[in-house]
Amino acid sequence: MLKLVANFKTSGGKKQTWSLPNPDTTNTPAELKGLLDQIGPLELFNKDGNNLYDTAESAMFVETNETILF
């Protein structure tokens, strides 16, 4: 299973992780950065007055291989 895992900084300065399963891998890193940067100004996710996804810090594709044992 492939996931896009992005690390954000909250408006309070803490770290927050967000992941998206089965992402579109045809976007360039610059396009992905631009898309993730659009999340912050929306202020969709708030906790205790802080925007949880204020600034995109990094992102990576993570692939997990599952092996069924029984």
Centre a 10 Å sphere on the Cβ of residue 22 and count the other Cβ atoms it contains.
9
Band the pLDDT of 67: cuts 50, 70, 90: very high
Per-residue pLDDT of 11-54, as tens digits, reads 999 999 999 999 999 999 999 999 999 988 888 888 888 899 99
Give the pLDDT confidence score for residue 37 in this predicted structure. Answer: 93
Residue 62's pLDDT is 96
pLDDT given for residue 35 in this prediction: 93
* pLDDT value, residue 40: 87
The pTM assigned to this predicted structure is: 0.83
